[in-house]
Structure 1
Amino acid sequence: MKYRHLFFDLDHTLWDFETNADETLRHLFTQHDLQRHGIAVEKFIQVYSDINHGLWRLYQSNKITQQQLRVTRFPRTFVQLGLREEDSPAGISEQFTDILPLKSAVFPYTYEVLDYLQAKGYQLHLITNGFRDIQHIKLNSSRLTNYFQEIVTSECCGHLKPDVRIFQHALERTGATASESLMIGDNLECDVLGAHNAGLDQVYFNPEKRRHFNQITYEISCLSELKEIL
């Protein structure tokens, strides 16, 4: 067995962030009757998603704080939609943060693959930039908690992927060496490049088969393909 420790990303890799966020945003759109502003729910979701992704890139680059990300994304969405910041309903950011992690959609074959890897004797762990309180709720809601021995969040070690220090921290916590470890994630910079710089082999989860020119140890478009590697 070449690898003994498998480190997974959570959002966009196992937990289907886009599906769960879409459900949450549709719920909030209806709850706050946002249609009265003359905007379509699909446009609301698209604009929010674009802004949220941009703010997350800033957060992962240490250019904004967690709190700035949370309080900024909805007011910016409303401004981008041609409305005013004040049109953003009071408490909508907190409601989104409360509802989203209760959603349970995961990518196809998530449970089957994790069961297979456990049965094969691999030690499974998580490395995530997601907020600690929310990530643990997501894991419980989607019945993923019991698969993982260690859950390493950026908040618990003070460093965000792709900083090599979060990977080093994960190795220390699990008692693993880089040579016997494999990182599986959807983000070329945070997961793949970060793991590479820390000396870990990588699996790039690329379900949309985006074109790129990065050198990667393995690439898959479906989680079931992990069975061919491991």
Structure 2
Amino acid sequence: MKTYRHLFFDLDHTLWDFEKNADETLRTLFELHDLGRYGFSVDTFIARYSEVNHALWRLYQANKIDQKALRSIRFTRTLTKLGVPEEEHPADISAQFTDLLPYKSAVFPYTHEVLDYLRDKGYVMHLITNGFQDIQHIKLASSRLTDYFVEVVTSEHIGCLKPDRRIFDHALERAGTTAAESLMIGDNLECDVLGAFNAGIDQVYFNPEKRRHFAQITYEISCLSELKQILQ
């Protein structure tokens, strides 16, 4: 089996459980703004927000909208789709979401156990994330992940998004390593897996929902604990 020294992780949806943390935050906002008075449930609010947010993130990753637009549009569009009159949209709901979300601490099962194992095995670990720079370090601190990672490379700082090869090349340079001795672990087939492949880096596709696909990847796991079998 190939020997790796440096491990590059994605953060959201790979270690930090974005869906669970966003769910908690949206429930808080639903109650804070008494959105139930418009006749929809909190679960409907969350489901509609998730649909809108995922669509806008695809546009953001394609460089078709910027960070400011994504953050503001996702709530105006969600509430409009749910029938809330535009003049009654809470003006501060987007800022409140951004303020509350990064302090949530849910991570995927076995996250700390596996990271402890990998650190004890001598692997040097880093992050490569498309998440917004102003909140990534808060997320890491809130979920007790900060101390595991040597380099935190954000797309916003580099000026390009995964799967752009430049962010992977920059991460390798920052880490002082090569593609041959590196491994990328992430949940997104295009951003993480294809991006790493194009940079010559082996990949682990984290697929907890076991989605069917036809991509050629180095490794695939459905639970982070399986990394122990790959990285012994």
Report the equivalent of 1:57. Answer: 58
Report the equivalent of 1:129. Answer: 130
Aligned ranges 1:1-12 → 2 under 5 Å: 2-12=3-13
The secondary structure found in structure 1 opposite 2:216 is coil
Q: One-letter code of the match for 2:26?
A: L
The secondary structure found in structure 1 opposite 2:152 is strand
**Residue pair 1:48, 1:73 contacting (<8 A) in 2 also:** yes
After TM superposition, give the deviation of residue 80 of structure 1 in Å: 1.1
Q: One-letter code of the match for 1:121?
A: G
**Residue pair 1:101, 1:138 contacting (<8 A) in 2 also:** yes
Q: Determine the C-alpha separation between the residues in 2 that align with 1:86 and 1:199.
A: 51
User: Percent identity at matched positions?
Assistant: 75
Report the equivalent of 1:32. Answer: 33
Give yes or no for the alignment of 1:95 onto 2:96.
Answer: yes
| Unaligned stretches of 5+ residues in structure 1 | none
| Unaligned stretches of 5+ residues in structure 2 | none
Note the alpha carbon deviations across 1:148-167, whole angstroms, 9 max, x for none: 00000001111100000000
Note the alpha carbon deviations across 1:147-199, whole angstroms, 9 max, x for none: 00000000111110000000000001011100100000000000000000010
Q: One-letter code of the match for 1:126?
A: L
Q: Determine the C-alpha separation between the residues in 2 that align with 1:83 and 1:32.
A: 12
Report the equivalent of 1:163. Answer: 164
After TM superposition, give the deviation of residue 137 of structure 1 in Å: 0.5
Q: Determine the C-alpha separation between the residues in 1 that align with 2:107 and 2:160.
A: 26
The secondary structure found in structure 2 opposite 1:12 is coil
The secondary structure found in structure 1 opposite 2:8 is strand
Q: CA RMSD in A?
A: 0.7
Q: One-letter code of the match for 2:140?
A: L
Report the equivalent of 2:210. Answer: 209
The secondary structure found in structure 2 opposite 1:118 is helix
Q: One-letter code of the match for 1:193?
A: L
Deviates more, 1:143-152 or 1:84-93: 84-93
Q: One-letter code of the match for 1:53?
A: H
How many residue pairs get matched? 230
**Residue pair 1:78, 1:87 contacting (<8 A) in 2 also:** no
Q: One-letter code of the match for 1:200?
A: I
The secondary structure found in structure 1 opposite 2:157 is helix
Note the alpha carbon deviations across 1:86-132, whole angstroms, 9 max, x for none: 33211000000000000000000000000000000000000000001
Note the alpha carbon deviations across 1:34-88, whole angstroms, 9 max, x for none: 0011111000000001100110111011110000001100000011112233332
Report the equivalent of 1:178. Answer: 179
After TM superposition, give the deviation of residue 214 of structure 1 in Å: 0.3
Q: Determine the C-alpha separation between the residues in 2 that align with 1:164 and 1:80.
A: 37
After TM superposition, give the deviation of residue 133 of structure 1 in Å: 1.1
Q: Determine the C-alpha separation between the residues in 2 that align with 1:3 and 1:52.
A: 35
Report the equivalent of 1:104. Answer: 105
Q: One-letter code of the match for 2:116?
A: D
The secondary structure found in structure 2 opposite 1:58 is helix
The secondary structure found in structure 1 opposite 2:73 is helix
The secondary structure found in structure 2 opposite 1:149 is strand
Report the equivalent of 1:68. Answer: 69
**Residue pair 1:76, 1:85 contacting (<8 A) in 2 also:** no
The secondary structure found in structure 2 opposite 1:13 is coil
Q: Determine the C-alpha separation between the residues in 1 that align with 2:182 and 2:29.
A: 41
Deviates more, 1:195-204 or 1:76-85: 76-85
Report the equivalent of 2:79. Answer: 78
